[in-house]
Structure 1
Amino acid sequence: MQKIWSIYLSGEIHTDWRERIMQAAQSAGLPMTFHSPVTNHEASDAAGDVLGQAEAGFWRDHQSSKVNCIRTRTQIQGCDVAVIRFGSQYKQWNAAFDAGFCAALGKPYITLHDADIIHPLKEVDASAMGWAQTPEQVVEVLRYVTGTPDAAGCVAAGTST
């Protein structure tokens, strides 16, 4: 039976990078499922509201971050590979935290970001198993590590099935 890889998609929520990875992986026939944090900003901010009205913004954020953390920790602990996206427009502190959590657990992760933010991410990239600049590069890495042949039947450069 073929292994179904669990891929956790963390980070930037303002572009379609997740959809591009999932669609390309499906088109390539990669054996994987995808998971991610809640990507609706308002829903994420309100995750803890069910526990009661917080007196101040700090406590609302604190309460919601703990509820969100149940999902994040569980999905990172259960994934085979994480992809952590850093966009150029916003600082994704949560994504950096996820990368650190992956590193602490020994979970392999791939960073996805543009070249113009290499310097601020040098420590995050140093623990990553790869740095990609496009979702398509991520999919090619996932294809390779899962041993899924490409359109020409190659599993890795110079080999065929």
Structure 2
Amino acid sequence: MRLTVYLAGEIHSPWREEIKEKAKSLQLPIDFVGPMEDHDRSDAIGEEILGEQPNPIFRDAAASSFNNLRTQVLMQKADLVIALFGEKYKQWNTAMDASAAVSLGKPLILIRPEELHHPLKELSRKSNATVETVNQAIKALAYIFD
């Protein structure tokens, strides 16, 4: 059995590569998908597809449509979602993706540092598992295959 795992969360740190490398070292049969990690392309995709937009608001709206399309397709095909809430970056997209996973009935592993326990308490209770580290998330994934 192979699983497809959607990795939701900020795109500025290498946490996805860490999960992928650890899963590979454990020989877990997992395919990973997630949001567009090229931030410049993510911001420009609307104009890439539709052409130049009249102002930054329209540019963002156009890009958001295509990014939401991509996320919805990939998340619906995923067997499980891992959402990482880091300490450094704003986490709006992570919260949106984690909530979408809950709404879609996708199993959800939430990674969040202890300091974010209180602000994420409701979302944490909706997830299937809440952990504090990438290593703990990998152990949870590995347990599925035991």
Q: Does the alignment reach a TM-score above 0.5?
A: yes
- Secondary structure class of the residue paired with 2:120: helix
The 2-side partners of 1:20 and 1:65 are apart by 27
Which stretches of structure 1, 4 residues or more, deviate above 6 A after TM superposition? none
2:5 pairs, out of 4, 7, 19, with 7
C-alpha displacement of 1:146: 2.4
Unaligned stretches of 5+ residues in structure 2: none
| TM-score, with structure 2 as normaliser | 0.94
Give the structure 2 partner of residue 49 of structure 1. 47
Normalising to structure 1: TM-score of the pair? 0.86
Q: What is the CA-CA distance between 1:93 and the residue it aligns to?
A: 0.8
1:39 maps to 37
The number of residues matched between the two structures is 145
Partners of 1:56 and 1:104 lie apart in 2 by 33
Residue 123 of structure 2 corresponds to residue 124 of structure 1: yes
Amino acid aligned to 1:67: F
Paired residues for 1:43-122 under 5 Å: 43-50=41-48, 51-122=50-121
Deviation at 1:31, TM superposition (A): 0.9
User: Residue 22 of structure 1 corresponds to which residue in structure 2?
Assistant: 20
Gaps of 5+ in 1: 148-161
Greater Rg by CA: 1
More helix by share: 2
CA RMSD of aligned residues (A): 1.1
Contact 2:10–2:93 (8 Å) recurs in 1:
no
Q: In the alignment, what sits opposite 1:153?
A: none
Per mean C-alpha deviation after superposition, the further-off stretch among 113-122 and 78-87 is: 113-122
- Structure 1 residue aligned with 2:143: 144
Alpha-carbon distance in structure 2 between the residues aligned to 1:22 and 1:53: 36
